[in-house]
Every structure is written in C-alpha cells, then in structure tokens.
C-alpha cells in the first residue's frame, strides 16, 4: 500500500519553507523551443496576473531570517558560512545536510531515506509505503521526520535550491517556475504565468479512461500538456526545484519501517 500524508509541526514556518516541508511529505497524483527573450526582460507582462512578492530582498537576507529559527549546530554553521559567500550554500554543505537528515532518521529507527537527485538537486518530494504501519506509527513517523528536517537540512536545502532555481525568492512558486524557464531562455518571451497555470491544470486534470497505460506512460502523456521540452536538462532542474510533482513518476517508494 502506498500512501502520502502531509507533515506535521510546520506551523510558524515561513510560507516558502512550509511549501518545501509539505512537498517532502505529500505526493499529488493527480513543445515550443527556446525563444529570444532577454534573461531579465524589462516589462512584467509575464507575471501581470500573479503576485511577485518576495520572501526576502536577497539570498543573504533570506538566510538571516532562517538563522532566527531553531535548528541543529551543523545546519546553523553551514548557513553562517554561506553568508560569507553572498548567501550561497556550498554543494558540500548541501549534501552534508541531507546526509545528516538521513542519519537522523536512521538514529530514530527508520530505514535509510532515499535521495532522488536531478542535476544535483535533491527532489523535495517523497512517495511513502506505509504498509504494515499503524496510524500511531505513521503519526510518530511524521513527527520524527519533521524534527529531523528542521534540525538538519530544511533551511540549508531551501537556501541552496533558491540560489539555483529561485534567486529572486518569489513566494508564488508558479512565478518562480516561469522565472526560471525565462531566465534560461527555455520558453518564448511571451510565455506567462497564466499560460503555465493553464498547462499545469491540464497536466493535473488529464485522464486516460479506457486506456491501459502504465504509470510511466501516463506521466509521459500528461507532461505533453506543457509547451516546453521536459527532456531539456535545465528544464528538469527548474522542475525539480519548483514543481517536483511533475516528475513524481521517477521517485522510488520509501518504506520507513
């Protein structure tokens, strides 16, 4: 039995971190070529129907806000070190944080969590297999996982991912996704958040009644709802960092106990 449930204990976290934490615990089942857009277009038509609110004015300011939260010493040290490098977490510290999270879970009696990587980014989404686990065990698992994430990796992972896929620190993840695609000239200049949302809804709502498709075949067909090339390496980086549910079929199931 495969099941997915939201994490507990996320009240009080910044909105962007709530989204990151929930994505680790919740799995929603549910091509135009590159244009000639400038990396930073002068107009804001692409986002005119969406909020371009930012969680912080800079990567360093974002990390400063993270440091106000309770966390383990190793994660705090990594963030403080990032402040000496323009708010950018090193890859060494990023992977160390994830390995510390995994060890934390093992120390609490769980199997080693998998790390699914896409172009150097850990996909912050998990597909759980809770077969054989009681409701009480599942509740304790969510509590333990939240504690390990907050202590060891949550803030470092967010800072590292932001520096790669969302350096403008947009709170609206649809805006962050379109910005990532536009910065790397993966969509035409006229591509907008509204178009991305329309394509995402088509991706989510698409069904194949009467067709005997495997899950892999279903996801491949559904991805065609998007007008950009899903096989492009940089597209996959943007997707992994912002909209991991679109590559959910690639994730291995994790049986915690």
Mean pLDDT of each 10-residue bin along the chain, 257 residues long: 39 48 44 38 65 94 97 98 97 98 98 95 90 97 97 98 97 96 96 95 91 86 92 96 88 92
The verdict on residue 9 lying in a domain is: no
Domain coverage including residue 80:
15-254
The verdict on residue 214 lying in a domain is: yes
The count of structural domains within the chain is 1
| pLDDT recorded at residue 83 | 98
| pLDDT recorded at residue 85 | 96
The verdict on residue 84 lying in a domain is: yes
Q: How far is CA 257 from CA 52, 99, 113, 123, 128, in A?
A: 42, 19, 11, 21, 10
| pLDDT recorded at residue 218 | 87
| pLDDT recorded at residue 37 | 37
| pLDDT recorded at residue 246 | 87
The verdict on residue 57 lying in a domain is: yes
Token output for 167: 């350096």
The verdict on residue 147 lying in a domain is: yes
| pLDDT recorded at residue 12 | 40
| pLDDT recorded at residue 58 | 97
The verdict on residue 194 lying in a domain is: yes
The verdict on residue 76 lying in a domain is: yes
Q: How far is CA 145 from CA 42, 78, 98, 103, 182, in A?
A: 43, 20, 12, 11, 35
| pLDDT recorded at residue 28 | 35
Cβ contact 152:100 at 8 Å? yes
The verdict on residue 5 lying in a domain is: no
C-alpha dihedral over 139, 140, 144, 150, to 10 degrees? Answer: 40
């Amino acid at each position: 039995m495969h099941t997915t449930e939201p994490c507990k204990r996320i009240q009080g976290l910044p909105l962007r971190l709530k989204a990151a934490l929930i994505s680790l615990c919740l799995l929603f089942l549910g091509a135009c070529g590159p244009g000639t857009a400038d990396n930073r277009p002068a107009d804001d038509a692409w986002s005119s129907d969406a909020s371009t609110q930012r969680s912080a004015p800079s990567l360093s300011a974002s990390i400063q806000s993270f440091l106000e939260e309770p966390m383990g010493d190793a994660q705090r040290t990594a963030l403080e070190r990032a402040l000496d490098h323009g708010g950018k977490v090193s890859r060494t510290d990023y992977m160390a944080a994830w390995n510390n999270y995994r060890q934390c879970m093992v120390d609490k009696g769980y199997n080693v969590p998998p790390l699914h990587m896409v172009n150097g980014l850990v996909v912050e989404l998990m597909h759980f297999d809770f077969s054989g686990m009681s409701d009480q065990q599942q509740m304790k698992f969510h509590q333990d996982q939240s504690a390990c994430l907050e202590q060891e990796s949550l803030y470092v992972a967010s800072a590292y991912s932001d520096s790669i896929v969302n350096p403008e620190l947009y709170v609206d993840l649809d805006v962050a996704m379109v910005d990532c695609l536009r910065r790397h000239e993966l969509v035409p200049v006229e591509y907008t958040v509204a178009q991305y949302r329309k394509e995402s809804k088509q991706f989510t709502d698409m069904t194949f009644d009467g067709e005997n498709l495997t899950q892999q075949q279903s996801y491949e067909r559904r991805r065609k709802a998007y007008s950009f090339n899903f096989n492009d390496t940089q597209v996959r980086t943007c997707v992994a960092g912002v909209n991991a549910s679109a590559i959910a079929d690639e994730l291995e199931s994790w049986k915690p106990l």
